[in-house]
Amino acid sequence: TEVTISLGYLGELMQAYVSRINLPGLEISFVWENSPLGTAGPLSLIDNLDDRFLVMNGDVLTDIDFNRMYQFNIKREDDITVAVFPRKVTIDLGVLELGEDEKILNYIEKPEYPYLASMGIYVIRKSAVQDLSRGEKKDLPDFVLDAIAKNKAVRAFQFDGFWLDIGRIDDYQEAQDNLSAILEDLGLQDLLDKE
């Protein structure tokens, strides 16, 4: 029911656009960064944080079940839960594994390596934010690493549904090419009808 958006450079444009949105029961507020604070730093500017709250990057398009992720965080009593998505990287060349005296041990043609990518979605306990100084510049990856170093409970929430990071050119192009179908799948077709 409450959304806080962190704004900085050209934030007036975002505020003007978002202010046109009328969703009953949703209160939207803004915090302003006088200088860039990274992706975690703005959390220190929000005075009324709940004990647990959701944080997400503004360039994420997904159908993740936020409530399920939130309940996952509560059940495990985590300080930070990071949504992760399975991806793979393909190397378009043959990869050689070498041993002693440059002896070739293995030759793998165009291998694929799986990994888990951060989705830019987090459930965070207010107590984890207390380590941030007000106005401190900090990115979420560093914030998570600091929490791990302090032995805070940090866990991954694995998700394999629909997710695009539209800050990446490939994902942005996919979103543009399939916008109507994506919005329909997400139940948001009426957004196109209004524009």
The tens digit of pLDDT for each residue in 32-75 reads 998 999 999 999 999 889 999 999 998 998 999 999 999 999 99
The helix/strand/coil state of 195 is coil
- Per-chain mean pLDDT for the chain: 91
**Taking the model in full, what pTM does it have?**
0.85
Range of weakest confidence among 62-71, 139-148, 177-186 = 177-186
Q: Measure CA 7 to chain center.
A: 16
Over residues 93-135, the pLDDT tens digits come to: 999 999 999 999 999 999 999 999 999 999 999 999 988 999 8
| Backbone Cα Rg of the chain | 20
3 state SS of 54: strand
pLDDT band with cut points at 50, 70 and 90 for residue 171:
confident
> Are the C-beta atoms of residues 72 and 157 closer than 8 Å to each other?
yes
- Strand ordering across the sheet containing 154-158: 52-56, 112-125, 80-90, 154-158
